[in-house]
Structure formats: C-alpha cells, structure tokens
C-alpha cells in the first residue's frame, strides 16, 4: 500500500514569523496522522521552518533549486545548499516556474538529477494547459513530461520521486479536475512508468493530485485508487484548512 503524501506549497507567501506560528499551530493538529506531511516554503523561511519542525512529523521542502552545485549564478540556490541546512524535499518544474521562469523538460530533468545527487527528494510537477486538454492531448503531454523529467534515473530514484499531477487550468482557479479525471490522468502517468521501469516501481511511486485541493474535496480525491495525496497551494496557507486536508481520513 502506498502512503498518502500531503504537501503544502506556500509559493511566494509567508514571512518568517508567520511560518513559525503556522508550524507551531499545525504541529499538534497533525501529530496523529498516518499521512506524510510536507511544507514547501520560500527560501527565506526554510531555516526557521526547519528549526520549528524539528521533532515533529512535519517535513520541510523548498520550491525550486538550481541544477549546478555552486558557481556564478547570481540569485540562485543549489541543491547542495538546501541539503546543507537540512531540507529534505524540493518541488521541481512547477507550472508557474515553467510559465514565468522558462523552465522546460530539459532543465527539470537536470534539477531532478541534481536533487538526487544531493540526497533531496524531488516533487516533480507535470500538467496540461486548458488548450491541450480541449485538444485531447492531456495524456500525451503529461506522460511525455514525466518520461523526460525522469530520464536517466535508476529504479530506486524513480521510487523516491514524488510526481504531482497538476492540470494548469485547475491551479488557483477554484476549478478542480473531477476525481475520475484526475485518477485517469494519474493512471496514465503510472502506466508510462510501468512501461519504462516495470511494475514494481510503478506500484511504489507516489503520484499526487494538485489544483484547487481544499478540505471539502480532499477526501474524495485522495480516496481514488491511484491518487496518493495532494500538492496544495492556496489552502495550505490557512492552518485549520490545511490540517483538515492532512486529516481527511481520520
């Protein structure tokens, strides 16, 4: 049985004092859950978040990283730097990074490889635009993004990758994919992984759904056969709401 993994993506929100308060409030609310809880926070919150999440079941992730270890890349942060302060997870290839910061399948693959070199677990985002969906290209797009992101990884590395299927038209819009649609898309991703890496790896890889997940729809989504939890944006900024999503099954 795969476990459910619920990750918050704060995006460019939350100052350090807000992050500290959030984690202190969240800690007792989620301490009994069997689900894995991750908060992906801005770089400037990482250190405070890590300190306050010590000795809790809350794991901390970053939202991006550079693929080189160090060098003349003004303004960038490497996987090596994240690992050095104790970060465990990193979101890679979020659609906002693909859209506004020119990330593509090639840079996503470089970042995923660099994450593993630095013992970070990547949360790799894939998803189709509304136009692609309307043209019937969803499965082709998301399976191709998945294949390219994972290119060159070992089976063990693929099993330690979290994939977040996030239809772009559902992010921050209040529109959620139906649970059947989301499950079908995730099944297609799992099938692609099965074709390349075999049945065992495909059965082990965690594939989340993301896009307007909230406490009122989390349960029905996460109970589908292939949806292994969620990547949660807006609803991860409110501690009550996020704790309800984490505790959807308790």
Task: Give the C-alpha distances (Å, rounded to integers) separating 10 from 15, 19, 117, 171, 236.
Answer: 11, 10, 25, 13, 7
| Closer residue to ligand PGA, CB minimum distance, 92 or 202 | 92
Specify the residue, 9 or 118, whose C-beta has the smaller distance to ligand PGA.
9
β-strand partners of 91: 123
What's the closest the beta carbon of residue 171 comes to ligand PGA, in angstroms?
4
In the complex, least distance from residue 161 CB atom to ligand PGA, rounded to whole angstroms = 16
Q: Which two tokens stand for residue 9?
A: 């993506």
Decide whether 36 or 166 has the Cβ nearer to ligand PGA: 166
- Residue 33, token pair as written in the block: 């859950």
Binding site for ligand PGA (CB under 6 A): 9, 166, 171-172, 210-213, 231-235
Least distance CB 247 / ligand PGA (angstroms): 17
131-148: b or e for each residue (b if 16 or more CB lie within 10 Å)?
ebbeeeebbebbbebbbb
- Nearest residue to ligand PGA, by Cβ distance, number only: 233
Residues annotated as catalytic are 94, 166
Nearest to 80 by CA among 71, 72, 70, 89: 70
């Amino acid at each position: 049985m795969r476990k459910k993994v619920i990750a918050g993506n704060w995006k460019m929100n939350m100052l350090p004092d807000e992050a500290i308060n959030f984690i202190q409030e969240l800690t007792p609310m989620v301490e009994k859950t069997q689900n894995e809880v991750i908060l992906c926070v801005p770089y400037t919150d990482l250190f405070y978040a890590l300190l306050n999440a010590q000795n809790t079941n809350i794991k901390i992730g970053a939202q991006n990283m550079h693929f080189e270890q160090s060098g003349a890349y003004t303004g960038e942060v490497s996987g090596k730097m994240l690992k050095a302060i104790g970060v465990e997870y990193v979101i890679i290839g979020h659609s906002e990074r693909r859209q506004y910061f020119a990330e593509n399948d090639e840079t996503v693959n470089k970042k995923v490889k660099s994450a593993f070199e630095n013992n970070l677990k990547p949360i790799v985002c894939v998803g189709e635009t509304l136009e692609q969906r309307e043209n019937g290209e969803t499965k082709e797009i998301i399976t191709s993004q998945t294949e390219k992101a994972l290119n060159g990884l070992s089976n063990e590395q693929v099993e330690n990758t979290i994939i977040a299927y996030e239809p772009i038209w559902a992010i921050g819009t209040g529109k959620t994919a139906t649970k059947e649609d989301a499950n079908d898309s995730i099944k297609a991703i799992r099938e692609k992984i099965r074709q390349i890496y075999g049945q065992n790896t495909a059965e082990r890889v965690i594939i989340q759904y993301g896009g307007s997940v909230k406490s009122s729809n989390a349960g029905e989504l996460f109970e589908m056969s292939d949806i292994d939890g969620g990547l949660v944006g807006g609803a991860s900024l409110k501690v009550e709401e996020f704790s309800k999503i984490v505790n959807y099954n308790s």
